[in-house]
Amino acid sequence: MIGNVNGAVSMIEKEMRNAGIDRKLVKTHSIIRLEALCAKSLKMQEVMQVVIKIVNFVRARGLHHRQFQHMLEEMDNQYGDLLYYYEVHWLSRSAMLQRVYQLRAELTNLLREKGWNFQSSVMRNG
């Protein structure tokens, strides 16, 4: 794919030069291997602990929860709330992770607004 002479990226660069386009392409070798390496280095349990702490921070405090819901309404977000994680339902893990990912900007805003030092909280309690 990215060989110096016959790889796809090299051939595309050659065609770009012939067309007068003077730009460099970013070459990445075997992105699938990089994804697999990342998946190995991030332990699912560690990721879940972090996500559960964020969700609990918002959901367990009534004021934070109401403010978060109000923020979602103001932003016309399609989601009305965060999902709780239920240990017994393995499907809830996937649903909660998806919802947290989709609401990551809103969650970041709320956590900053509340002055919650997330990194120290995770390290201290983790």
Same domain, 52 and 16: no
Amino acid (1-letter code) at residue 87? E
* Whole-Å CA distances, 86 to 20, 52, 89, 95, 107: 57, 10, 6, 10, 20
Q: Encoding tokens for residue 113?
A: 């607004």
In the prediction, which pLDDT does 69 show? 80
- Of residues 40 and 3, more confidence is placed in 40
Q: Are residues 50 and 29 in the same domain?
A: no
Within this chain, do residues 67 and 113 fall inside the same structural domain, yes or no?
yes
Confidence of residue 88 (pLDDT cuts 50, 70, 90): very low
Domain that holds residue 109: 44-125
Query: Does 64 map to a domain?
Result: yes
34 shares its domain with 87 = no
Residues 25 and 57 in one domain: no
Residue 2 lies in a domain: no
Nearest to 102 by CA among 89, 121, 117, 83: 83
In the chain, the number of structural domains is 2
Q: Say what the pLDDT of residue 126 is.
A: 45
108 and 59 in a common domain: yes
Least confident segment among 25-39, 47-61, 63-77, 109-123: 25-39
- Look at residue 119 and tell me whether its pLDDT is greater than 70: no
Percent of the chain with pLDDT over 90: 0
Enter the pTM of the model.
0.46
Structure-model confidence comparison of residues 90 and 36, the more confident one: 36
For residues 37 and 56, membership in a common domain is answered with: no
